[in-house]
Amino acid sequence: MTDLPPVVDRAAFEAEVARLRTREKAHTREGDALAAQRRRLPMVEVPADTLLTGPDGPTTLLDAFEGRRQLILYYFMWHAGHPAAAQCEGCTWCSSQVRELSYLHSRDITYAIVAQGPYPESARYHEFMGWTMPWYAAAGEPLETLLTGRHVGMMHLISYVRDADRVFETWWTTRRGVEQVDNSYRLMDLTVFGRQEPHEDSPAGWPRTWPVDGHLLKTDGRPIPQWPRLAAGHSDDLGS
């Protein structure tokens, strides 16, 4: 039987929420301050003609802006030749969070994904998952150029801005930094049991059944979001 928090009356409950709210507001203000500092970072130029592969064949980093001033690219780890069930559960989790793009577009921002591998396989995965964001692929020298100084084969989230036909990188992150795109974990953090992961600071007796060991975002051997697609009759054949 899972333990639960102590039961109190409404007045005591609201008093504890009010104490927590002070810290929550400070956290929000610190997030605003970080965003302000992020807007003041310098930038570095990257080759605007760096080649990507898209649905219509070869294209460029500049083309990926789709005419907008800003671009956010998520770099999806790709295991070439592997079936859908063996593709990156972390990148699948991140990509499944980003659905509605119109708010980004209203601020002159394009959001897209670059798979780190061959286009045909990953494009089939994009279709299988029912994602609608723009999807590209890059490998070899173009990918190394885009990820200069960073580990190719790891998830990255990178922001760009363009000035006419020149492109500049303005910010990047990796590992847990990519939680910026997530809403599921943020919602879990609002619940009494949280993410249910063993590293969390939770009271004794709270469930901690999701070990961070490569299965954190999988159930029954697959990335979690694949199951509803299979149930809906989507084919996971990647042609590999």
For every one of its 240 residues, what pLDDT tens digit does the chain have, with 9 covering 90 and above? 568 898 999 999 999 999 999 999 999 999 899 999 999 999 999 999 999 999 999 999 999 999 999 999 999 999 999 999 999 898 999 899 998 899 999 999 999 999 999 999 999 999 999 999 999 999 999 999 999 989 888 889 999 999 999 999 999 998 887 888 888 888 988 998 888 888 888 888 888 888 766 677 888 889 989 999 999 999 988 987
Please name the residue that has the structure tokens 């490998």: 139
Q: What are the backbone angles phi and psi of residue 156, rounded to the nearest 5°? A: -140, 150
Q: Is 73 exposed, middle or buried (0-12, 13-18, 19+ CB in 10 A)?
A: buried
Can you give the pTM of this predicted structure? 0.89
Per-residue model confidence as pLDDT tens digits over 84-138: 999 989 899 989 999 889 999 999 999 999 999 999 999 999 999 999 999 999 9
Domains of the chain from N-terminus onward: 44-181+217-231 (3.40.30.10)
pLDDT at 1: 59
Q: Quote the CA–CA distance of 6 and 61 in Å, as a whole number.
A: 55
